[in-house]
Amino acid sequence: MNQIQLNICLTSYNTEAELPETEQKLMAAARQATHKSYAPYSNFHVGAAVLLEDGTVFTAGNQENAAFPSGSCAEQSVIYWVGANYPNQQIKAIAVVARPGEARPDEYKPVSPCGACRQSLLEYEHRQQEPIRLLMMQPNGGVVVSESISNLLPVKFDADDLRG
C-alpha cells in the first residue's frame, strides 16, 4: 500500500490593494452582487463576479427556490450565463463573496465555492484550456487566490475522462 499526498498551494494577500486593479474591481463587483441575490430562504447572500479577457465583468447572486434543490449558487448562475452568452471569450478570473442576512448590509463574509460549483467552473477552465483565477475574500480584508479551479479539485473528473 502506498499513500499519495496532495498539496494545494494558495496565494494569500493581506489586502485587496495588493491585487491588480482589474481584480480589485472584481472583488467590489462581487460584493455588489450580493445585494442582487435572491436568497429569502437561507438569507445567505452570495455574489460572484467574472472577469473576461476583454476586461468585461459580469456578476450574479445566488437564486433560491421554494423547492430548495432547484436554486442556483452565485458561481453557477454567473458562469453559465457567461458560457451561454460569451462562449468565445476567455474567462480570466472569478471572485466570490458572501453576506449573511439583511441586518448588517455592509458586513461581508468569506465563502469558497461548494463542490458542485467547483465542478461547474472546472468545465469552463477545461474548455478554454487556460486557468481561471479564483479570488476568495478573507475576514481580515485580505484575499486568498487559487491560481486555477483544478487546483481546488485535484482528483477531478473532466472531459478527458470521457474519452476512451
Which stretches of the chain bind ligand THU, using CB under 6 A?
Answer: 39, 42, 44, 46, 62, 64, 71, 73-75, 111, 113-114, 117
**CB atoms inside a 10 Å sphere around CB 14:** 11
Q: Active site residue: 75, 102, 107, 125, which one?
A: 75
> Minimum distance from CB of 110 to ligand THU (Å)?
11
> Among residues 23 and 77, whose Cβ is nearest to ligand THU?
77
Cell of 63: 437564486
> Among residues 46 and 57, whose Cβ is nearest to ligand THU?
46
Q: What is the Rg, in whole angstroms, of the alpha carbon atoms belonging to the chain?
A: 16
> Minimum distance from CB of 39 to ligand THU (Å)?
5
75 labelled catalytic: yes
> Minimum distance from CB of 132 to ligand THU (Å)?
15
CA angle 112, 78, 15 (to 5 degrees): 45
Output 10-14 pairs: Cβ under 8 A, ≥24 positions apart: 10/144, 10/145, 10/146, 10/151, 11/144, 11/145, 11/146, 11/147, 12/138, 12/142, 12/143, 12/144, 12/145, 13/142, 13/143, 13/144, 13/145, 14/140, 14/141, 14/142
> Among residues 40 and 55, whose Cβ is nearest to ligand THU?
40
> Minimum distance from CB of 109 to ligand THU (Å)?
11
> Among residues 18 and 124, whose Cβ is nearest to ligand THU?
124
- Active site (catalytic) residues: 75
